[in-house]
Chains A and B, each alone.
Chain A
Amino acid sequence: MAAVGQVLRSEWTKIRSVRSTVWTLGIAVVVTVGLGMLICALAANDFRTMPARDRLTFDATNVSFAGMGLGQLAMIVFGVLVVSNEYSTGMIRSSLAAVPQRGTFLFCKLAVATALVFLVGLATSFVAFFAGQAMLGDHRAYLGDPGVLRAVFGGGLYMTMIALFSMAVATMLRSPMLSLGILMPFFFLVSNILGNVSATRKIGRYLPDQAGQRVMQVIPRAADVPYGPWGGFGIMAAWTAAALVCGYVLLKRRDA
């Protein structure tokens, strides 16, 4: 049996020795923080002219995460590339010849990538929060306010989970083009449409990203959501777990 410690070290070498890691994670940070700041600045300007109802439900914390909708796409690219690059380059044959225990191989690869995404995601979430709040001026929220610390921490968790979900999907599909071609439009368009059209809203809110985003809201966006912040995150985690099980079973059975 290949020792887990050895394989973890090997996967860390793999991740840090390709440029796509720095590029994708760097873009995720810059877009999330930058766009968040911009939207916070606009919101601070418009606050006066907002309808009273909107002013009452104004979620200063969540507004600073407005860049995450776009930033998560870079996280998806990172997650997809970490796994599917093995297949598109043929590296998978070298990797599995070195570590024929496929469960160990997959676990170590995903563990290292997830740990890295968690650190980057958490830092991004805190920076986006503080930078965004600085833009909001008088309307800002404080870390000590009820639910705010949970939401900021949740922002990091959300980004981690979206990347892990992408890794699981890429494990199933193997091709980077196919994986990105499904995940990007899904999270950028389909999920938003399903979540905003009244006929499909009830289904849409159980999709991984819609449910998961509840954890970074201090004030729920819709009053009738049947789950709390952690319930929503749990739904997202369940989606990810299901994708991981499928990916693992396929990897185990398939010819490399």
Chain B
Amino acid sequence: MIELDGLTKHYGDKVAVDHLTFTVRPGLVTGFLGPNGAGKSTTMRMMLDLDNPTAGSVRIDGEHYRRLTDPLRSVGALLDAKAVHGGRSAYHHLLCLAQSNGLPRRRVGEVLDTVGLTPVARKRSKGFSLGMGQRLGIAAALLGDPRVLLFDEPVNGLDPEGIHWIRNLMKNLAAQGRTVFVSSHLMSEMALTADHLVVIGRGRLLADTSMAEFIRGNSRSYVRLRSPEAERLRDVLHAERIAATEAADGTLEVDGVPSERLGELAARHGLVLHELSPQQASLEEAFMQLTAESVEYHAHDGEPVGGGPAEPVPPGVAAGPGGWGGDWRKKGS
């Protein structure tokens, strides 16, 4: 368990982390989400006592990090893949960390096996690919068989196979009753792994909720209808007491009615439909809405300002199943 109490970090005038208070519980994967520059990494560094908080405190299983005996036995962290001396072999990197915490030498071999680096254990880590470096960082985190694990952007730069591997690893670690805290700036990634969500923006806590609740609260499912006889369609729906909203391009959107029923209804009235499609708002969209106020660096999307036939996107509505975050549904179903 990790408890943050009013954690604050100032860099000069700039507030990087602003009174964060939340608890990361064991047995779950907790996603730590926020746009770039939201203060995620700073928060994680303060958890490990690498950065000194301006105010507030972090407790890990009730103790300050500095008070832990052999901290690697309690907390394992993947901070960034480059926290390694490139001239040292993977084996010696892990060995010096193990020795500093009185861990047996055989643990080094075990974690190298776990992450699949045994064949290159004696090679200098300078020549490692991004993915191999990430695996070495994870091996270091697992070294002391800790109850609490922190991963800062673990999937960065990994290939699909590596991403899949890390996802399963984190889920397994949580299933063993450990506390798993993972940061990411990708909602779609979190939707696949996390059970609980902590969202921050500009250092402030924006949400602290279960994944299921976040999905329920932020994803709107609806059916899109397009017909050449829009007028008659609206009358039919009205007669059935089905509320429909008209989107800007003339399509109708219906909430909370299964697409089967709408299709049968249209057939019964002999209505021509050009489109009948169930839609799901993406979590990425919901996340962007939530953090829109707090994004540090805005980019322009390259469209001419104030012009063009661009279709306005209603709040909370996504492009469609193919858009960002469309894949979260695989998990939900």
Interface residues of chain A, those whose CB is within 8 Å of chain B, are 1-3, 6-7, 9-11, 13-14, 17-20, 85-86, 89-101, 253, 255-256
The residues of B with any CB-CB pair to A shorter than 8 Å are: 45, 48-52, 65-66, 68-72, 75, 77, 79-80, 82-89, 92-93, 95-97, 99-102, 140
Q: Is the CB of B50 within 8 A of A13?
A: no
B100 adjacent to A93 (CB under 8 Å)? no
B17 → chain A, closest Cβ, in Å?
12
Whether A9 contacts B99 by the Cβ 8 Å rule is yes
- The number of inter-chain residue pairs (CB within 8 angstroms) is 100
A91 contacts B83, CB within 8 Å? yes
Complex CA–CA separation, A18 to B84 (angstroms): 12
Scoring A86, A95, A255 by chain B CB atoms within 10 A of each residue's CB, the highest score goes to A255
| B85 near A85: Cβ-Cβ < 8 Å | yes
Do B87 and A98 have beta carbons less than 8 Å apart? no
Q: Assess whether A14 is in contact with B88, with CB atoms less than 8 Å apart.
A: yes
* Chain B residues near A85 (CB-CB < 8 A): 85, 87
Main secondary structure of the interface of B (DSSP, over half): loop
> Is there contact, CB below 8 Å, between B70 and A100?
no
Task: With A97-B71, A256-B50 as known contacts, state yes or no: A6 contacts B65, CB within 8 Å.
Answer: no
Docked Cα-Cα span, A14 to B96, in Å, equals 6
Question: Hey, which chain B residues are within 8 Å of A98, CB to CB?
Answer: 71-72, 97, 100-101
Residues of chain B with a CB closer than 8 A to A95's CB: 100
Residues of chain A lying within 8 A (CB to CB) of residue B49 = 96-97, 100
A240 to B: closest C-beta gap in Å: 25
Residues of B within 8 A of A1 (CB): 69
* Nearest-Cβ distance from residue B50 to partner chain A, whole angstroms: 4
B100 with A90: CB separation less than 8 A:
no
Pair A90/B80 contact, Cβ less than 8 Å? yes
A17–B89 alpha-carbon span in the complex (Å): 8
B72: chain A residues at CB < 8 Å are 97-98
Assuming the contacts A13-B95, A100-B68, asked whether A19 and B87 have C-beta atoms less than 8 A apart, the reply is: yes
User: In whole angstroms, how far apart are the Cα atoms of A98 and B95 in the complex?
Assistant: 12
A11 to B100 Cα, complex, angstroms: 8
Check A90 against B82 for contact (C-beta < 8 Å): yes
**Chain A residue nearest in CB terms to B51:** A255
Residue among A7, A19, A90, A101 with the highest chain B CB neighbour number at 10 A: A90
A234 to B71, alpha carbons, bound, how many Å? 39
Report yes or no: A101 in contact with B66, Cβ–Cβ below 8 A: yes
**Could you list 6 A-B pairs, sorted by A, with CB under 8 Å?**
A2-B69, A9-B100, A11-B96, A90-B82, A98-B71, A100-B68
- A-B pairs, top 9 by smallest CB distance, nearest first, are A10-B100, A17-B92, A10-B99, A255-B51, A13-B96, A256-B50, A90-B83, A93-B83, A94-B83
A7 to B72, CA, bound (A): 13
Contact of B97 among A3, A18, A94, A253 (CB under 8 A): A94
